[in-house]
Structure 1
Amino acid sequence: MSVAPFFILLCALCAGLAALLVPHVAKAQSHDEQFDCKSNPHEFISTLIEEKSIDPNPSRVEANSVNAFSPAHGSRLSAFGFPIYVVLGYAHDDTLFHRGAGKELDAPLYGVVVSAPAESVRSRLREANSDATVHSVVPLLLTAIVCGG
C-alpha cells in the first residue's frame, strides 16, 4: 500500500472535521461590548431573548429578585472569550423579571456567570477597559461579571 492514498484520505478526513467545527465556532456569540455598563437590565435580557440565545423564563429567581436565565439549547454565548454558564438580570418594577421572596436589591443589575477563574476574568476586563465588576462564584471555576447592583 502506498503512503500517498493514505495521506490523501487522512487530509480529506481532517478537512471534513474542520468543516463541521467551523459553524460551531462561528456560532459562538460574544457580548463583550455590553459590559461597558451603559446598557440596562431590560435591554440586555430582552435582546438575548429576541436572539433566542437564552430561555425567556428564568431558570431561578433568587430571594433578592435576581433572575437567572439559562442559555438556550445549542447557543454558544461567550463574554471576553469565556463560555457563559448563566445570564443574570434584575430591575425593580420591570415585568420581564420575576420577584423573589426576600428583600429586592436597591439598584438594577445585569451580567453573566462564566466558566473561568476570577483572576483570568479580571485580567480580560482590564484589557477591555470594562466597567463591570467581578465576583468569584465557585473559586477557580465560575465567575460573575456584573454591571450595576
Structure 2
Amino acid sequence: MNKYLVTATAVAIAAALPQAGACASLDDALHCNVSARTFIHSLIDAGQIDGEPTRVESNSINAFNLVKGVDLRAFGYPVFAIVGYEEGDPIFRKGSGTRLSRSAYGAVVWGSTPKVKASVDAAHSNAIVHHVAPFITAIFCDRD
C-alpha cells in the first residue's frame, strides 16, 4: 500500500477521534478496512490508548488500555480494551506461540455476545464477534 495513503488514512482516523473526555465511535474502523498498524497508531496519536501493550497473548495479540477518562464505543457498546497485532511493527510484541494473523485488531466491549453480534451485523461490518466471558465480547478484524 502506498505509504502516503496509509499516513493519510491514519491522520483521518485520528482526526475523527475526539480527545480524552469525549465519546468516540470506532464503528468505521471496525468495518475492517484499515490495517492493525493504522488502527492502533491512530488511537495512540489521538491520546485514546496507552502506547505500551499491557498484555501479550501467546498468539501475539497485544492488549492496550484506554487512557483514563476516554470513552470509546464500538457499535454502541463501551470499549474497555483495544487489541491488535501487526507483523513487523515494533510497537507490537510477539507472543510465545503461533501468531493469529499478520494484521489483526479490534475492541473488547461490555455487552452480551448475541446483542453485540446483532449490532455488528446491522451495521454491515464483516468484523468477527467473539464471546470472551459473560457480558464481555470482542469485535475483531483479521486482515490476513
Report the TM-score range of the alignment, normalised by the length of the smaller protein. Answer: 0.7 to 0.9
Q: Which runs of 4+ in 1 moved over 4 A?
A: none
Which of 80, 86, 93 is the matching residue for 1:85?
80
Q: Which residue of 2 aligns with 1:29?
A: 24
Q: Which residue of 2 aligns with 1:96?
A: 91
Q: Distance in 2 between matches of 1:144 and 1:106?
A: 16
**What is the Cα deviation at residue 116 of structure 1?**
0.2
Which of 130, 136, 140 is the matching residue for 1:142?
136
Could you tell me whether the CA contact under 8 Å between 2:129 and 2:139 is conserved in 1?
yes
Q: Which residue of 1 aligns with 2:117?
A: 122
Any idea what SS the aligned residue of 2:73 has?
A: strand
Could you tell me whether the CA contact under 8 Å between 2:51 and 2:64 is conserved in 1?
yes
Aligned length: 123
TM-score normalised over the length of structure 1: 0.79
Q: Which residue of 1 aligns with 2:5?
A: none
By percentage of residues, which structure has more helix? 1
Q: Which amino acid aligns with 1:105?
A: L
Q: Percent identity?
A: 38
Any idea what SS the aligned residue of 2:131 has?
A: strand
Q: Distance in 1 between matches of 2:31 and 2:55?
A: 26
**What is the Cα deviation at residue 99 of structure 1?**
1.2
> Structure 1 stretch 57-66 or stretch 99-108: which is displaced more?
99-108
Q: Distance in 1 between matches of 2:136 and 2:120?
A: 15
CA RMSD of aligned residues (A): 1.3
Equivalences for 1:54-73 in 2 at 5 Å?
Answer: 54-73=49-68
Greater gyration radius: 1
**What is the Cα deviation at residue 107 of structure 1?**
3.4
Q: Which amino acid aligns with 1:42?
A: R
Q: Distance in 1 between matches of 2:101 and 2:34?
A: 17
| Matching of residue 47 in structure 1 with residue 42 in structure 2 | yes
**What is the Cα deviation at residue 104 of structure 1?**
1.9
Q: Which residue of 2 aligns with 1:11?
A: none
Q: Which amino acid aligns with 1:61?
A: V
TM-score normalised over the length of structure 2: 0.81
Q: Distance in 2 between matches of 1:147 and 1:34?
A: 9
